[in-house]
Amino acid sequence: MASSGNQVKASHILIKHQGSRRKASWKDPEGRIIKNTTRETAVSQLKALREDIVSGKSKFEDIASRISDCSSAKRGGDLGPFGRGQMQKPFEEATYALKVGEISDIVDTDSGVHIIMRTG
Q: pLDDT, tens digit, for every residue of 78-109? A: 999 999 999 999 999 999 999 999 999 999 99
- Torsion of Cα atoms, 18 then 22 then 23 then 29, to 10°: -160
Separation of alpha carbons 70 and 77, rounded Å:
8
Q: What is the pLDDT of residues 1-60, one digit of tens each?
A: 444 568 999 999 999 999 999 999 999 999 999 999 999 999 999 999 999 999 999 999
Separation of alpha carbons 14 and 42, rounded Å:
9
* Residue tagged active-site, from 11, 70, 72, 104: 70
* 17 has catalytic annotation: no
Whether 74 has a pLDDT exceeding 90, the answer reads yes
* 70 has catalytic annotation: yes
Domain range list for the chain = 8-118
pLDDT for res 5: 62
Side by side, which strands form the sheet with 107-109?
Answer: 78-82, 8-15, 112-118, 107-109
* Residue tagged active-site, from 11, 12, 20, 68: 12
CATH architecture, range 8-118: Roll (3.10)
| DSSP one-letter code for 87 | S
* 65 has catalytic annotation: no
